Amino acid sequence: MKCPVCEKGTRSKVDDILYELEGNNLIISGERCNHCGEEYIDEQELQRIAAIGRKLGIWGKPFKLHRKLSKSGRGTVLRIPTDIEKNLKLKGNEEVAISKVGDKKILIEIENGHA
Ligand SMILES: [Zn+2]
């Protein structure tokens, strides 16, 4: 299956996707692009994570997905993980406010385009 993100790589089944749930590292299965490394989590696995989250009483809090920054001609690029994009219904033309929080955090707030 072709990767819709980079349109160059192929998605293949993996079972070593690291998903961080409030400090708990879950290893789950899904697909990963062999070109850009984008990870696609199975719907079943997402439901399993949601169930774990509900059990821990933390469902609704942000999940962490690990991503590498990349360089483009004009600066540093961060790709928003697909499930966050879907969850927030991002169209890709929203304006965002980016602030530095402490020494190691960046906060990205969506300012418009999100009805
Ligand atoms: Zn890709």
Quote the domain boundaries for residue 44: 1-66
Distance 68 CA to ligand 1 centre (A): 13
User: Contact at 8 Å (CB) between 39 and 17?
Assistant: yes
Whether residue 50 is found in the same domain as residue 103? no
User: Contact at 8 Å (CB) between 30 and 39?
Assistant: yes
Task: Give tens-digit pLDDT for 4-47.
Answer: 899 999 999 998 988 887 677 788 889 999 999 999 988 888 88
For the chain, how many helices (H) and strands (E)? 2, 8
Asked whether residue 111 is domain-assigned, the answer is yes
Distance 11 CA to ligand 1 centre (A): 7
The model carries a pTM of 0.46
Q: Can you spell out the DSSP letters for 43-80?
A: HHHHHHHHHHHHHHT-BTBPPEE----EEETTEEE-PP
Asked whether residue 94 is domain-assigned, the answer is yes
Whether residue 8 is found in the same domain as residue 61? yes
Distance 18 CA to ligand 1 centre (A): 18
Triad 70, 72, 73: Cα angle to 5°: 155
Task: Give tens-digit pLDDT for 48-75.
Answer: 887 877 777 665 555 566 778 888 888 8
Which pLDDT value is given to residue 55? 77
Whether residue 60 is found in the same domain as residue 22? yes
Asked whether residue 26 is domain-assigned, the answer is yes
Asked whether residue 75 is domain-assigned, the answer is no
Whether residue 10 is found in the same domain as residue 55? yes
Indicate which CATH number applies to the domain containing 24.
3.10.20
User: Contact at 8 Å (CB) between 65 and 39?
Assistant: yes
pLDDT averaged over the chain? 82
List CB-based neighbours of ion ligand 1 within 5 Å: 3, 5-6, 9, 33, 35-36, 38
